[in-house]
Amino acid sequence: MTKKRVAIIGVGLTKFGELWEKSYRDLITEAGLKAIKDAGIEGADVKELFVGSMSPGLFAGQEHIGALVADNAGLTGIPATRVEAACASGGIALRQAYTSVISGQSDIVVAGGVEKMTDVPTGIAMTALMGAGDEEWEAFNGATFPALYALMARRHMLEYGTTIEQISMVSVKNHANAKHNEYAQFQYEVTLEDVLNSAPVAEPLRLLHCSPITDGAAAVILASEEKAKELCDNPVWITASALATDTLALHDRKSLSQTNAAIIAAKEAYRRAGVSVKDIDFAEVHDCFAIAEILAIEALGFCKIGAGGKYTEDGHTKIGGERPVNTSGGLKGKGHPVGTTGIAQAIEATLQLRGTAGKRQVKGAETGLTHNVGGSGATAVIHIYEKD
């Protein structure tokens, strides 16, 4: 039996950053309209909508997101659903849209992500973000996400000899990539010394190890294989979608230095796509903190568990390296509007496979992967993409 495929036929992205002049609805409407235009379709062609948004109530005072997005995009009448899975909200919105198409329920579906995070004081933003962790065991006792990832970093350093310089090289690389991304929040390079000498946040993590608070939105148009061939000359195919979970609280994990949900999801994604690690030409991974990229490349099998620091130091994750990671600049350089990130990752994968990523282009890219994480790793969603 011929395997069904789902295509990305249109993409739309806003600038990421502190976008004081734009509202929550402005952002998602802009991204959605750009995606529809890129796909060359009309709004009336869209049959269903999924939008990832982690905490719009606390960030923007707005709930009932599915209806709001459909309304502002001129798509009232269609099924419209908000998806929440902390920082993996966008990735799971993409998964829901993929499932709708591959099941035959709808032939053209929008998957979007949006967050407006900078209109509230930092303390409120931190409270909202800690909703992605365990309120009773972590947030109530004063833990923040920098603290949780600092624990993971310290354990990785203890077990495997990973150095703070190796962790810092993730930030240096991703800023260098973001320099060439017109949508990125931080379009400038940093040096290793800049990272090491930046303000301490949670030992051993410093400011330039941490992703920022960001506004932004992204949208993609998914289509069935039949519709894609009818509408698009350069479809990018989603060949696998896999989701796994782990314990919510970090202290309940089997290991502080591994992300088991990502390990499980990656194995399932490779199986579904019929590919191996060696087939992956590039990846967008969830580097909310620099240590998270090292944990991600290990979970994905790019290197052995514990070897992520050395793999990074040896240049394998740079553009031109064995397997480029976060060519967009990642969450660190591009920015991290939490509900948007999973969709923005899919857009970078699409640009790479279309061959339109400019100075960030990975030569000969044929297969890519995105890795989107919720919280400290309690949720992980992996997608694999291929071009014809």
Catalytic residues: 87, 336
Sheet holding 108-116, edge to edge: 80-83, 48-52, 108-116, 215-224, 6-13, 236-245, 379-387, 367-374, 282-284
For residue 238, give both structure tokens: 């989603």
- The letter for the amino acid at 259 is T
Within the chain, residue ranges assigned H as helices are 24-39, 56-60, 65-72, 89-102, 122-130, 145-160, 164-178, 192-196, 225-231, 260-273, 290-299, 308-313, 330-334, 341-354
Q: Do 146 and 202 form a contact (C-beta atoms < 8 A)?
A: yes
- Bridge partners, residue 325, by sequence: 283
Residue type, 110: V
Measure the CA–CA gap between 6 and 227, rounded to whole angstroms.
10
Q: Is 331 helix (H, G, I), strand (E, B) or coil?
A: helix
**How far is the CA of 42 from the CAs of 36, 74, 77, in angstroms?**
7, 10, 15
Rounded CA-CA distance 311/133 in Å is 29
Q: Which of 236, 277, 281, 244 is nearest to 260 (CA)?
A: 244
**C-alpha distances in Å from residue 188, one per residue of 92, 137, 166, 358:** 30, 38, 20, 16
Give the Cα separation of 82 and 310 in Å (integer): 40
Q: How far is residue 179's CA from residue 189's CA, in Å, rounded to a whole number?
A: 6
Tokens at residue 349, please? 């994968």
What single DSSP character describes residue 387?
Answer: E
Report the run of H or E that residue 154 belongs to, with start and end. helix 145-160
Q: How far apart are CA 316 and CA 302, in angstroms?
A: 9
Is the CB of residue 124 less than 8 Å from the CB of residue 367? Answer: no
